[in-house]
Amino acid sequence: MTLSKFSLFALACSFSLTACDSGGGEYVKAMEGFAEQACACKDAECTTKVAKEQADWLAANAEKAAKLSPEDAQKVTAATTKLTECTVKITTEAAGAAASP
């Protein structure tokens, strides 16, 4: 998954969760876990792996997203933003290192 596709995917997930209305502690915890994993990565290969794991998890847990409360949806949005920011930073650093002689 390219960075731009990942970012669009993450944003779509964030926006789709804002109208949800019940439950979701497990969902929030998982999304925060993906963000932590991505931020712990040292290279783009690692962030790509985390993004794939997250995408697979999201697909398998789509029904849970529809039941999130607004508060949980906000926490998921924050986790997704954090994950995206870390991914962009790591990918940008990796691209810069690759371009350096």
Question: Do the beta carbons of residue 94 and residue 3 sit within 8 Å?
Answer: no
Question: Do the beta carbons of residue 43 and residue 89 sit within 8 Å?
Answer: no
Domain boundaries, the chain: 24-99
The more confident residue out of 3 and 87 is 87
Q: 72 burial class (0-12, 13-18, 19+ CB within 10 angstroms)?
A: buried
Helices (H), 41-69: 44-60, 62-65
Please tell me what DSSP assigns to residue 61: T
Over residues 46-52, mean pLDDT: 95
Over residues 72-81, mean pLDDT: 96
The more confident residue out of 4 and 100 is 100
What's the whole-model pTM score? Answer: 0.72
Look at residue 23 and tell me whether its pLDDT is greater than 60: no
